[in-house]
Amino acid sequence: MRKEFQQKLGNINKTQEDFDMAVIKNFDEIVERVKGFPKPMRVIVAAAQDEHTLQAIKHAQEEGIAKPVLVGDKAEINKICAEIGLVVPEEDIYDVPDVDESAKRAVALIHEGKGDFLMKGKMETAQILKPAVNKETGLGTGRVMSHFVFDELPHYHKLLVTTDGGMMTYPTLEQKAQIIENTVETLKALGYENPKIAAVAAVEKVNPKMPETVEARELKEMNERGEIKDCVVEGPISLDIALDKECADIKGFESPVAGDADVILVPNIQVGNILGKSITVIARGNMAGFIVGSQVPIVLTSRGSSAREKFLSLVLAAAVSEGKKLSIA
């Protein structure tokens, strides 16, 4: 069953051993994988009257990746579509000019089975999250929702996940364990097995005066006891050791995660936000991300994000959505 699932994800020329060691090296690999899906994934866009968002949708539609369902100010949506050459059937455009109401309608359409994942358009993040996290009518699963980001770095040998720099502010130990569970579930949908999680801190030794080091060690011990499954958790571990094997060797830090981390688990949103912006602004890396731990992926790129970042984020969400379907099948 697992081998069949991996073949469906586009790895038919790899052996089981090859796949167990496989990682996604860049965004082009994800784009090519999603282009090979049997049919486009349905994306519901709330407050869709945003040019960069619709440009990303147009790109995805032209590649056969996504079929859009647009919710928002229909007149403005039609105007932008005409300007950029995006063709969407009238029945797939819902006229809901009020931004808050468009978010509610988009979430309702997910429940009605009209879409595979949700995407934020021209609105504040809080406006789409309010109906999404509603306990009665939202998209919750019983776990915390967390922000999953894939970063493409110029000098790292594979895509790197950073979490959580956009959703959970100061997560507790229990919430950090759930963030890891969300992340592992998402990576499994992409074909990963036993991803390497680095619970980062400023130092590699437990210091009672630095609570993030204490919790990082507790997460590692939870993993060793089998309470956190299907991954390898190391912590506390510094960022340089997690990403640079030579640095780990110099410091005498031995771990399968050292120099080969798949995931950087940050202690709080401040660290995650600064790390994420450092990757894109200083290192000129590319990123794509969305909310996980929900019934469907929720693409929450910034309103100032480029059309490319929004395109990559919806491609990633499409890949995860299809991967979860195949794993269930």
User: What kind and span of H or E run contains 16?
Assistant: helix 16-21
Banded pLDDT at 128 (limits 50, 70, 90):
very high
Token pair belonging to 17: 């051993």
Distance in Å from the first CA to the final CA of the chain: 9
Banded pLDDT at 325 (limits 50, 70, 90):
confident
Q: Are 119 and 88 in contact, with CB atoms under 8 Å apart?
A: no
What pLDDT sits at residue 327? 60
Q: Which residues contact 247 (CB under 8 A, 6 or more apart)?
A: 240, 241, 259
Residue 47, sorted as left (phi over 0), alpha (psi -120 to 50) or beta, turns out to be left
Q: Are 194 and 229 in contact, with CB atoms under 8 Å apart?
A: no
What pLDDT sits at residue 326? 65
Average pLDDT over every residue of 282-299: 94
Banded pLDDT at 177 (limits 50, 70, 90):
very high
Q: Evaluate if residue 329 carries a pLDDT over 90.
A: no
Looking at per-residue pLDDT, the higher value among 69 and 304 belongs to 69
Q: What is the pairing mode between strands 263-265 and 196-200? A: parallel
pLDDT in tens, 186-215: 999 999 999 999 999 999 999 999 999 999
SS3 at position 121: coil
Measured between alpha carbons, how far is 317 from 247 in angstroms, rounded to an integer?
34
Domain boundaries, the chain: 1-140+294-329, 148-288
**What is the chain's mean pLDDT, rounded?**
91
Average pLDDT over every residue of 177-189: 96
Banded pLDDT at 306 (limits 50, 70, 90):
confident
Average pLDDT over every residue of 214-236: 98
Banded pLDDT at 307 (limits 50, 70, 90):
confident
What pLDDT sits at residue 302? 75
Question: What single-letter DSSP state applies at residue 144?
Answer: P
Q: Please report, rounded to a whole number, the percentage of residues in the chain having pLDDT higher than 90.
A: 83
Closest by Cα among 213, 235, 214, 211 to 223: 235
pLDDT in tens, 3-60: 444 444 444 333 333 333 468 999 999 999 999 899 999 999 999 999 999 999 999 9
Q: Evaluate if residue 328 carries a pLDDT over 60.
A: no
Q: Which CATH number fits domain 148-288: 3.40.50.720, 3.40.718.10, 3.20.20.210, 3.40.50.300?
A: 3.40.718.10
Q: Are 100 and 281 in contact, with CB atoms under 8 Å apart?
A: no
Q: Evaluate if residue 2 carries a pLDDT over 50.
A: no
Find the range with the poorest average confidence among 5-9, 71-75, 227-231, 242-246: 5-9
Banded pLDDT at 68 (limits 50, 70, 90):
very high
Residue 64, sorted as left (phi over 0), alpha (psi -120 to 50) or beta, turns out to be left
Measured between alpha carbons, how far is 318 from 296 in angstroms, rounded to an integer?
10
pLDDT in tens, 278-289: 998 999 999 999
Residue with tokens 């912590």: 235
Q: What are the strands of the beta sheet with 66-72, ordered from one edge?
A: 93-95, 66-72, 41-46, 117-120, 298-299, 286-292, 146-152, 160-163, 263-265, 196-200, 232-237
Show the 3-state SS of 203-241: CCCCCCCCHHHHHHHHHHHHHHCCCCCCCEEEEEECHHH
Q: Are 307 and 56 in contact, with CB atoms under 8 Å apart?
A: yes
Q: Evaluate if residue 271 carries a pLDDT over 50.
A: yes
CATH 3.40.50.10950 fits 1-140+294-329, yes or no: yes
Question: What single-letter DSSP state applies at residue 140?
Answer: B
What pLDDT sits at residue 198? 98
Banded pLDDT at 305 (limits 50, 70, 90):
confident
Measured between alpha carbons, how far is 319 from 292 in angstroms, rounded to an integer?
13
